[in-house]
Amino acid sequence: MLGVVGIFVYVGAEVAIGTFLIKYFQLREIGNLPEAQGAKLVAYYWLSAMIGRFIGSLILQKVKAGTLLGIAAFCASALVLTSMLTSGHIAMASIILVGFFNSIMFPSIFTLGIANLGPLTGDGSGLLIMAIVGGAIIPLLFGALADMPAIGLHHAFILPAVCYLYIAYYVLRGSRPREAH
């Protein structure tokens, strides 16, 4: 079940970031870019995810999924926090690079989530797939935070940062098999 939450927050964080990037790049303190120019930069977020997928698949041949997932989750969270706490080119580059670290998360969480389920593997994989609904719910919560005057769009990125920290927790503690009681 902790893997289900992992997929939920991963997909939610990825979609929330991708959805709000154009508006984020339009913020005066971030890029002050016109919508069309900001839209072009969103392609770099997805390009970095594609590059990360290729590199990640090579690394996964040598490194355990949990190890790489933990590194990716901590890096993604650090990059989101960097973007939140800075402005200008640093904020833009750091949020774009999150795509690179997102790239191996879904398959790695899924693999850890169904490990050792035995005859429950089908049920477990079904629940993991249903958790993709996080991509519809987390962006709504992100938008609500962004609309709050006390938080705003720049600092609403705390939500994806927390999502990535949950994934790091999942790797360190939540994905470990437990003894049946």
Give the tens place of pLDDT for each residue, 10-40: 999 999 999 999 999 999 999 999 999 999 9
Query: Could you tell me which of 64, 140, 63, 53 has the C-alpha nearest to residue 102?
Result: 53
Q: Is the pLDDT of residue 179 over 60?
A: no
* Pair of tokens at residue 142: 């992100």
Categorize the per-residue pLDDT at 181 as very low, low, confident or very high, splitting at 50, 70 and 90.
very low
Would you give the DSSP letter of residue 91?
Answer: H
Q: Is the pLDDT of residue 175 over 80?
A: no
Categorize the per-residue pLDDT at 178 as very low, low, confident or very high, splitting at 50, 70 and 90.
low
Q: Is the pLDDT of residue 55 over 70?
A: yes
Q: What is the pTM of this model?
A: 0.92
Query: Could you tell me which of 127, 153, 150, 131 has the C-alpha nearest to residue 142?
Result: 153
Categorize the per-residue pLDDT at 1 as very low, low, confident or very high, splitting at 50, 70 and 90.
confident
Q: Is the pLDDT of residue 145 over 50?
A: yes
Look up the CATH number of domain 2-174: 1.20.1250.20
126-to-1, 3, 7, 146, 170 alpha-carbon distances in Å: 11, 12, 12, 32, 19
- pLDDT digit string (tens) for 97-141? 999 999 999 999 999 998 888 888 898 899 999 999 999 999 999
* Range 37-49 average pLDDT: 94
Looking at the chain, the whole-number percentage of residues with pLDDT higher than 70 is: 96
- Whole-angstrom Cα distance, residue 138 to residue 152? 16
- Whole-angstrom Cα distance, residue 84 to residue 100? 18
* Range 145-162 average pLDDT: 97
Q: What confidence score (pLDDT) does residue 76 get? A: 98
- Residue-averaged pLDDT of the chain: 93
